[in-house]
Amino acid sequence: MGGKRGNDVSLIDEQNQIRTEEMLLNVGPQHPSTHGVFRLVVKISGETILDAEPVIGYLHRGTEKLAEDLQYTQIIPYTDRLDYLAAMLNNYAFCHTVEQALELEIPERAEYLRIIVMELQRVASHLLFIGTYLLDLGAMSPFLYVFADREQIVQLFNEICGARLTYNYLRVGGVKWDAPPGWLDKVEAFVRYMQERLSMYDELITGNEIFLARTRGIGVFDTDTALAHGMSGINLRSTGFRWDLRRNKPYSIYDRFDFEIPVGQNGDCFDRYYLHLLEMNESLKIVAQALQQVPDGPVLGKVPKLIRVPAGEYYSGIEGARGELGFYIVSDGKDKPYRMKIRKPSFLNLQLLPKLLRGQNMANLIAILGAVDIVLGEVDA
Residues near other proteins (CB under 8 A) are 1-3, 23, 25, 31-33, 47, 134-141, 144-145, 148, 208, 210-211, 213-214, 361-366
Q: Which amino acid is at 164?
A: R
Tell me how far, at minimum, the Cβ of 196 lies from other proteins, in Å.
Answer: 16
- The CA distance from 19 to 23, in Å, is 13
Helices marked H in the chain: 63-67, 72-80, 87-102, 108-136, 141-161, 183-201, 209-215, 223-228, 234-237, 245-248, 269-293, 345-349, 353-357, 362-372, 376-380
Minimum distance from residue 44 beta carbon to other proteins (Å): 8
| Residue 27 C-beta: closest distance to other proteins, Å | 9
Phi, psi of 336 (to 5 degrees): -125, 145
Q: If we measure between CA atoms, which residue out of 43, 37, 367, 306 comes closest to residue 172?
A: 306
- Closest to other proteins by CB, 73 vs 360, is 360
Burial class (CB in 10 A: 0-12, 13-18, 19+), 77: middle
The radius of gyration of the chain from alpha carbons, rounded to an integer in Å, stands at 23
Asked if residue 375 lies in contact with residue 85, where contact means CB atoms within 8 angstroms, the answer is yes
> Is the preceding omega at residue 295 within 30 degrees of 0, hence cis?
no
- CB of 246 vs other proteins, minimal distance in Å: 32
Minimum CB distance to other proteins smaller for 214 or for 237: 214
How many other CB atoms are there within 10 angstroms of residue 17's CB atom?
8
Rounded Cα distance, 313 and 58, in Å:
30
Residues 257, 231: Cα–Cα separation, whole Å:
26
CB of 211 to other proteins, least distance (A): 5
Residue 140: CB atoms within 10 Å: 9
Residue with smaller CB distance to other proteins, 66 or 212: 212
Which CB, 41 or 59, lies closer to other proteins? Answer: 41
Q: How far is the CB of 332 from other proteins (least distance, A)?
A: 48
Minimum Å gap between C-beta 135 and other proteins is 6
Smallest gap from residue 138 Cβ to other proteins (A): 3
Measured from the CB atom, the residue of 33 and 252 that comes closer to other proteins is 33
Q: Would you say 24 or 66 has its CB closer to other proteins? A: 24
Given a contact cutoff of 8 angstroms between Cβ atoms, the answer to whether 187 and 291 are in contact is yes
Residue 1 C-beta: closest distance to other proteins, Å: 5
Q: Give the angle 303-308-312 at the CA atoms, nearest 5°.
A: 125
Angstrom distance (rounded) from CA 229 to CA 238: 14
- Choose between 47 and 260: whose C-beta lies nearer to other proteins: 47
- Kindly state the smallest distance separating residue 24's Cβ from other proteins, in Å: 8
**Residue placing its CB nearer to other proteins in the complex, 3 or 295:** 3
Please tell me the distance from the alpha carbon of residue 251 to that of residue 130, in angstroms, as a whole number: 27
Q: Of the two residues 66 and 363, which places its CB atom closer to other proteins in the complex?
A: 363
Nearer CB in complex with other proteins: 23/228: 23
Sequence-ordered list of residues with C-beta below 8 angstroms from that of 209, at least 6 positions apart, any chain: none
CA dihedral 145, 148, 153, 159 (to 10 degrees): 180
